[in-house]
């Protein structure tokens, strides 16, 4: 991967707890003096962690990166469930705290391929309206369960009450696209005969992109149970005060600029794409103009790629030209072509 100053690239940005993802993207826009920015999946205001931001012509990649698997750390509070399944919501259910053994069994049960019902407060659309907007209007509607995958779930830390029951748990999850950690907290608690909601969420990985490589990483709070409890209290206190816009620091602007990734072959491979190059100026022109895709246009025979593969296409001088896709039936088609600058 090459760090560059191109206005077309990918930025790994560490969102802090507090600002919305929209506000965090605003910081990136101001630092790079551009409005052409596309995010690849938002984080709730109370959450912190990795935002993968596509800049300039690479906004076309945003939808592809959104589909990547993700890794999170979550702090779950047991004993109460809220309508939003996180700490800013209203308590709708109380239940006994679980024992450590009950929690361990439940976490194992919610690993692998599962059916998950999304939260009522979510960005999923029902009849053209967000489920969260309908929920705020009191028009609650049960969302259908859908298949998701929890590749790994591991209890990292627990905080017990005076009777030795679990009050808080710090759990790491590696999950497929569309998995709601808030729903996992709800369902794991229910399996224990308890109730729960999130008080902290930290996205540490998107595909092969890691939080440690992001601009602003040093500004993130240490994600421990005690720190998250403290941050949640401060978050609620600040939410009652008039909103103020914090001024971005020049140091953060400089870090954002220095962390811009040019989309070269190495970055494409980090994204999980295969790569190839056009074989000539004529082949490059044919590709840019959407002509029929033939193996002769590329440095790699298209038949050699496995089915269900996305392939990043580069020119002979290493410029990213676009993305093609070989579907499960081995047909190759254009995903998109980067427009000429």
Give DSSP secondary structure letters for 106-157. Answer: HHHHTSEEEEEPPPSSSS-EETTEEHHHHHHTT---PPPPEEEEEEEEEEEE
Q: Is 147 exposed, middle or buried (0-12, 13-18, 19+ CB in 10 A)?
A: exposed
Contact by Cβ (8 Å): 145, 135: no
Contact by Cβ (8 Å): 294, 334: no
Q: Which of 44, 83, 262, 264 is catalytic?
A: 44
Secondary structure of residue 198 in the 3-state scheme: strand
Packing angle of the helix pair 250-258, 21-32 (nearest 10 deg)? 80
Contact by Cβ (8 Å): 232, 89: no
Q: List the beta bridge partners of residue 26.
A: none
Sign of the dihedral through C-alpha 142, 150, 77, 224: negative
Sign of the dihedral through C-alpha 161, 164, 167, 169: positive
Contact by Cβ (8 Å): 173, 71: yes
Please say if 226 is a catalytic residue.
no
Sign of the dihedral through C-alpha 154, 157, 161, 162: positive
Contact by Cβ (8 Å): 167, 157: no
Can you say whether residue 290 is alpha, beta or left, with left for phi > 0 and alpha for psi between -120 and 50 degrees?
left
Looking at the annotation, which residues are catalytic? Answer: 44
């Amino acid at each position: 991967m090459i760090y560059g100053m191109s206005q077309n690239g990918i930025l790994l940005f560490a969102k802090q707890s507090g600002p919305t993802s929209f506000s965090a993207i605003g910081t990136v826009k101001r630092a790079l003096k551009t409005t052409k920015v596309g995010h690849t999946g938002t984080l709730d205001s109370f959450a912190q962690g990795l935002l993968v931001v596509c800049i300039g012509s690479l906004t076309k990649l945003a939808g592809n990166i959104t589909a990547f698997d993700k890794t999170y750390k979550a702090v779950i509070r047991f004993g109460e469930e809220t309508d939003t399944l996180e700490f800013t919501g209203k308590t709708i259910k109380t239940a006994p705290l679980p024992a450590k053994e009950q929690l361990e069994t439940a976490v194992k049960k919610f690993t692998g391929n599962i059916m998950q019902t999304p939260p009522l407060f979510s960005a999923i659309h029902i009849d053209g309206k967000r489920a969260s907007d309908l929920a705020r209007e009191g028009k609650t509607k049960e969302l259908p369960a859908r298949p998701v995958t929890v590749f790994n779930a591991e209890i990292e830390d627990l905080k017990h009450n005076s009777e030795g029951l679990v009050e808080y748990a710090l759990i790491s999850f590696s999950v497929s696209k569309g998995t709601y950690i808030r729903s996992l907290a709800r369902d794991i608690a229910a399996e224990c005969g308890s109730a729960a909601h999130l008080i902290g969420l930290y996205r540490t990985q998107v595909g092969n992109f890691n939080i440690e490589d992001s601009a602003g990483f040093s500004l993130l709070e240490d994600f421990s149970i005690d720190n998250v409890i403290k941050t949640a209290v401060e978050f609620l206190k600040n939410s009652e005060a008039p909103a103020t816009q914090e001024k971005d620091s020049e140091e953060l602007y400089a870090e954002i600029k220095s962390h811009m990734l040019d989309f070269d072959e190495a970055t494409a491979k980090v994204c999980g794409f295969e790569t190839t190059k056009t074989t000539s100026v004529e082949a490059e022109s044919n590709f840019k103009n959407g002509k029929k895709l033939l193996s002769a246009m590329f440095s790699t025979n298209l038949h050699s790629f496995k089915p269900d593969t996305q392939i990043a296409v580069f020119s002979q001088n290493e410029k990213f030209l676009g993305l093609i896709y070989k579907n499960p039936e081995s047909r190759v088609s254009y995903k998109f072509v980067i427009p000429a600058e």
